[in-house]
Amino acid sequence: MKSVDGVYTAEDYKRLFDHLQAHYPEMALFWQIGCETGYRVSDLLTLHIKDIKERQICIVERKTKRERTATISEATERLLIRHRNNKMLLPYSLIWSYNRQQVWRCIRRAGLAVGLPRLGLGHIAHARHMLGSNSYALLL
């Protein structure tokens, strides 16, 4: 099994998010929503504008077929509204037009740039756990 780097500290999360925000703003939003909700990448890629109402994201998971609802922060909501307005997305529009491989490449490049050379998509879940164990207010 390949060894991977994780995002286990608030400093790593902040460095990675700042880099994504500066170079890949859409991917920064993807990363932030993934970390805040803990949704799988496959579920995030099928997220529609209509799935988000009043800081709540409600989806039916592809793997388990269960309905899940998660709350996002005000900062993430502002980023999402800006993204929606910039792209002129309609309610039934997908938020992203990426596939899993494109997301992986972007996250990998950002990881290399901030000193996490073996960062992968599974680390959205690790970052979510890190967010829960550290002070949430420090990160946003």
Q: First vs last Cα of the chain: how many Å apart?
A: 34
**Cα separation of 105 and 23, whole Å?**
13
Q: How confident is the model at residue 133 (pLDDT cuts 50, 70, 90)?
A: very low
Determine phi and psi for 96, rounding to 5 degrees: -120, 155
> pLDDT by residue (tens digit) across 35-87?
888 888 889 999 999 999 989 999 998 888 999 999 999 999 998 999 999 99
pLDDT for the residue numbered 136: 46
Q: Which amino acid is at 87?
A: K
Vertex 111, ends 132 and 22: CA angle to 5°? 90
- List CB contacts of 94: < 8 A, sequence separation 6 or more: 45, 46, 47, 48
Q: Which domains does the chain have, with CATH numbers?
A: 10-139 (1.10.443.10)
> pLDDT by residue (tens digit) across 72-131?
999 999 989 999 999 998 888 999 888 889 988 898 899 899 988 877 766 565 555 555
